[in-house]
Structure 1
Amino acid sequence: MKRVAVDLHFLPCLEFFSCIADADEIVVSPLEMYQRQSYLNRCRIRLANKVETLSVPIQGRRPRLPLSKVRVDYTQNWQKIHLRGIQSAYGKAPFFEFYFPYLSPVYEQKHACLWDLNFEMLTICLKLLRYTGKLTVVDAIENEEVDLDIRGQIGPSVHFSERNYYQEVPYTQLFGLDFEPNLSVLDILFCTGPEAKKLLLSSVKN
């Protein structure tokens, strides 16, 4: 049984899913520390003229806290900004009307902490992708036996080509002539629908 330890990213990128493509168990911990300039509270989507980053604002400028203690900041209107951005980016995508109703209700809630928000989003994405790997919550990943540990490795500051997990496999995107790799999983879901899982499996770097 293959166990993969991961950080709990917000609407993770394709590289994240290529890492867990053949995992029997995906191991996460609410005690993992929040990291600045990471994908823990941001994701990337493709608009008509650019790639846009959607960020979840948090309370405190540099919290040295476990993810389960990082509070989401609702003084900013980020939920409507996200929904508007996602609708602008993918409203005309082939599978938008099928998948969007699963995700939009999450934005209507007020999750107290980043951990709860990310966990619910990942659970939904795994379901939509028909991933069979079990999502397991543990106290301390250091005490677990895992086959692959990618914590702290996937981030926006280092290009995916520098790592040995993901290779781009182009699919038809809504905008632009050039393929934009490694966006949020939203991109491949809305653009390819049921084909998304097969494409992600083929994007695993050998």
Structure 2
Amino acid sequence: MQVITTLFYLPNLEYFTAILDKKEIILDGIENYQKQTFRNRSKILLANKVETLSVPVLGGNKNTKYREVRIDYNQKWKNVHLRGIQSAYGKAPFFEYFYPYIDQVFRKNHQFLFDMNLELLTVCLKLLQLNVKVSVREKEGQIADSMDIRGLLKAKASPGVYKFYQEKVYSQLFGVNFAPNLSILDLLFCEGTSAVSILKASQKK
């Protein structure tokens, strides 16, 4: 089955539990941009809190096509994000193996948010070793034999309210209490080769 999704920035675990068993991910390439969504934000676990990483954009609003939204490099967000990721996961078991792939994407200084997110998603799928096709939807119309999850994963949803994800505890570096549904980076850096089996166990039945 195919799944139609919105393209997010370093997506969370719920996103990956939703697409895990699908043969193809169809990204919406014609939608308008929406503020305060996962399109430009992701969550990681620091020593004393869950931190939201937010990519600043230029003029992104509901009248702008997502693919036309530019990243604002006048703000020093990239250094903040990379230092945050290094601080959060530098001592994680699989950091040294996976981080260079992520760092390489950031070094390209993509002009458009959509393009950067697409390459980051592609890298994450590669690191998870998921054999799934990724395509971009270029025109309106129904797509047969597909599941549409656009609009179902909300950044402002109530904590613990998930449609596709159920909390499956795995080893994290910080905190007494487990922090669920963080960016896929948390799971990759902490669990590495076990990531996919944990995602499968995290799928809501």
| Same fold, TM-score > 0.5, yes or no | yes
Structure 1, unaligned runs of 5 or more: none
**Identity percentage of aligned residues:** 47
SS class of match (1:99):
helix
Structure 2 unmatched runs, 5+: none
**8 Å Cα contact 2:35-2:60 kept in structure 1:** no
1:64 offset after TM fit, Å? Answer: 2.0
Deviations 1:17-46 (A, max 9, x none): 000010011111321221111000010000
Deviations 1:84-114 (A, max 9, x none): 0000000000000000011101111121111
Paired with 1:94 and 1:115, the residues of 2 have a C-alpha distance of 30
Cα distance in 2, alignment partners of residues 11 and 104 from structure 1: 13
- The 5 Å alignment of 1:1-206 reads 2-60=1-59, 62=61, 64-140=63-139, 142-159=141-158, 161-206=160-205
Q: Counterpart amino acid of 2:21?
A: D
Are the equivalent residues in 1 in contact too, given 2:47–2:88 (CA < 8 A)?
yes
Kindly indicate whether the alpha-carbon contact (under 8 Å) linking 2:33 and 2:60 is maintained by their aligned counterparts in 1.
no
Alpha-carbon RMSD: 1.3
Question: Alpha-carbon deviation of 1:143?
Answer: 3.3
Aligned partner letter, 2:58: Q
Q: TM-score, normalised by structure 2?
A: 0.96
Report the 3-state secondary structure (helix = DSSP H, G, I; strand = E; otherwise coil) of the residue aligned with 2:43: strand
One-letter amino acid matched to 1:50? K
Cα distance in 2 between the residues matched to 1:140 and 1:63:
18
Tell me the distance in 2 between the aligned counterparts of 1:141 and 1:123.
24
**Measured at CA, do residues 61 and 134 of structure 1 come closer, stay the same or move farther in structure 2, by a change above 3 Å?**
closer
- Runs of 4+ that moved beyond 6 A: none
The answer on whether the counterparts of 2:45 and 2:174 sit within 8 Å (CA) in structure 1 is yes
Give the match's secondary structure for 1:142.
Answer: coil
Q: TM-score, normalised by structure 1?
A: 0.95
- Equivalent residues of 1:44, 1:54 under 8 A apart: yes
| Counterpart-to-counterpart distance in 1, 2:14 and 2:20 | 10
Distance change (3 Å), C-alpha of 1:116 and 1:139? same
Q: How many residues align?
A: 205
Is residue 5–residue 141 contact of structure 1 (8 Å, CA) maintained in 2? no
- 1:60-89: CA deviations, max 9, x gaps? 163521211011111011111111000000
CA separation in 1, counterparts of 2:63 and 2:50? 29
Measure, in 1, the Cα distance between the counterparts of 2:159 and 2:8: 15
